[in-house]
Amino acid sequence: MSRSAPPLHDIATFVSVAQNASFTRAAEQLGTNKSNVGKAVQRLENRLGTRLFQRTTRAVRLTEDGETYLEAARAALEGLSEAEVALSARRDEPNGRVRIDAPIGFGRLLLPMLAALRTEYPKVLPELSLNDRQSDAVGEGFDVVVRAGELPPDSDMTVRKLYDIRLGLFAAPTYLARNPIHSVADLREAEGVVFRSGSGQLRPWTIHESGRTFQIAPKPSLITGDGRAYVEAAINGFGIAQIYDRVAEPHVASGELVHLLPDADVKGPPVHALIPVGRRMPPKTRVVIEALANLFRPPTRI
């Protein structure tokens, strides 16, 4: 049957006596008295079943067994010291895996940000999950959850608002070549990519015109409940889609989508970053949160 390891205090005391060749000087170094030092060495000797020092009135010398044990004890204490330094560095330096959950439509937006983050912090490993369902951040072990929309009360999460979405109408140049849009009135006959929400309802377009906000139910050309497919359908010319401004930005920049009737844009839901509470936020999570904040700051009109 294996025995438990000897107390580190006794090992450190033994090493101090050996280095100082004196119980008295070891006691001074350790901030204790000679009696406590002697008891610690005696406990270690009793445990090992051998004498570690030859003691005389004039000198304290290691025995052969003591010399063998000193070499192992020094290596063990040095290893522990190096581990403490490494762990301290990890607490201060962003290091490790960060599990991120975000809406599917945000994928193309987040990937360049995460690539830049990896360049700046190569020891941080992002693990990105993209889905449009309301995941259980704590139960599923996510470090950061990005959510669009109003949040239900949740005592298990710390919330940081990132920005307020604007919703705009977008379509591919190929669709607009066949179906030009010049005014809000043209939207009533236009074909649209329609999103089916988790509740099963088809989401109408919300439009702003002449100081009022109203909804239009477009003529569906494709119905989907997948955020990525929703954007890709618009890119592929299925029809007009109402898309989050920041999600649409890279597609507008690449020429895949055209922003229609910017004055008809409406304010959408807020975007939040959620972090499980109950523990100190590690540096690896903090740099991801800051990168998200920078990504969405400031919100822009397109």
Q: Tell me the mean pLDDT in the region 273-287.
A: 79
Q: For domain 96-163+270-295, say whether CATH 3.40.190.10 is its number.
A: yes
Question: Which class is domain 166-268?
Answer: alpha beta
- Beta pairing partners, 276: 157
Tens digits of residue pLDDT in 42-100: 999 898 899 999 888 778 899 999 899 988 988 888 888 777 766 665 666 888 899 99
The number of beta carbons lying within 10 Å of the beta carbon of residue 239 is 21
Looking up tokens 């983050």 gives: 117
Tens digits of residue pLDDT in 197-245: 877 889 999 999 988 999 999 999 999 988 889 999 999 999 999 998 8
Find out whether 42 and 29 touch, Cβ atoms under 8 Å: no
Q: What is the pLDDT of residue 5?
A: 65
- How would you classify residue 49: left for phi > 0, otherwise alpha for psi between -120 and 50, otherwise beta? left
- Label the pairing between strands 124-130 and 258-260: unpaired
Q: What is the pLDDT of residue 299?
A: 45
**Per-domain residue ranges of the chain:** 8-92, 96-163+270-295, 166-268
pLDDT class for 302, splitting at 50, 70, 90?
very low
Find out whether 299 and 270 touch, Cβ atoms under 8 Å: no
Tens digits of residue pLDDT in 131-145: 876 666 656 778 898
8-92 against 166-268: fold identical: no
Angstrom distance (rounded) from CA 194 to CA 217: 9
- Percent with pLDDT over 90 in the chain: 41
User: Between these two residues, 60 and 152, which has the higher pLDDT value?
Assistant: 60
What architecture (CATH level 2) is domain 8-92? Answer: Orthogonal Bundle (1.10)
Angstrom distance (rounded) from CA 272 to CA 285: 15
Q: What is the pLDDT of residue 156?
A: 65
Average pLDDT, the chain: 86
Angstrom distance (rounded) from CA 85 to CA 293: 31
State which H helix or E strand residue 243 sits in. strand 241-244
Q: What is the pLDDT of residue 279?
A: 56
Q: What is the pLDDT of residue 2?
A: 46
- pTM for the predicted model, two decimal places: 0.59
Q: Tell me the mean pLDDT in the region 15-19.
A: 89
